[in-house]
Amino acid sequence: MPGRPSASRRTVLRGAVVTPVAGLGLAACGPGGGTSAPATPTAPVDLGAESEVPKGGAKLYRDHNVVVSRDASGALKAFSTICTHAGCPINKLQGTTVVCPCHGSEFDATTGKVVRSPATEALASLPVRAEGGKIVAGPGA
């Protein structure tokens, strides 16, 4: 077509470089966050020794997408670590705060409440119990 200018080689090469990089960025923002971690437990799971969760502290169980905390009286609470903002598995625990790697949302591991946006909804609570010195969490626990 005579009235239409063709794209320069530089323009074509620039587009070829930018497109895959943009695709990687979008994949990281998707629900899986680019990982293959399993979903939150759908049945009771043995998380390990009850002694691993100190009073006033928390422990992150990345393989099960669960965080368990223990209050000063010794009562256990468990929450899903699937971020309520974009569905990314949370993989970082700082004290009693869990931090989402995708967009920086932070949640209190003792209550599940959001302490830093962009998330606006609390983490889903999970049933949890101590049985024979072990922590069991998930539906039916």
Share of the chain above pLDDT 90, in %: 65
Residue 99 clears pLDDT 70, i.e. is over it: yes
- Residue entry with tokens 């959001």: 114
Q: Do residues 90 and 112 lie in contact, with contact meaning Cβ atoms separated by under 8 Å?
A: no
Residue 14: Cβ within 10 Å count:
12
Strands 76-80 and 106-108: unpaired
> What local confidence, expressed as pLDDT, does residue 140 receive?
80
Q: Is 87 exposed, middle or buried (0-12, 13-18, 19+ CB in 10 A)?
A: middle
pLDDT digits (tens, 9 = 90+) for 34-81: 444 457 788 899 999 999 999 999 999 999 999 999 999 999 999 999
> What local confidence, expressed as pLDDT, does residue 40 receive?
76
pTM above threshold 0.75: no
Residue type, 1: M
Q: Is 33 exposed, middle or buried (0-12, 13-18, 19+ CB in 10 A)?
A: buried
pLDDT digits (tens, 9 = 90+) for 3-42: 656 666 555 545 544 444 444 444 444 444 444 445 778 8
Segment 96-116 mean pLDDT? 97
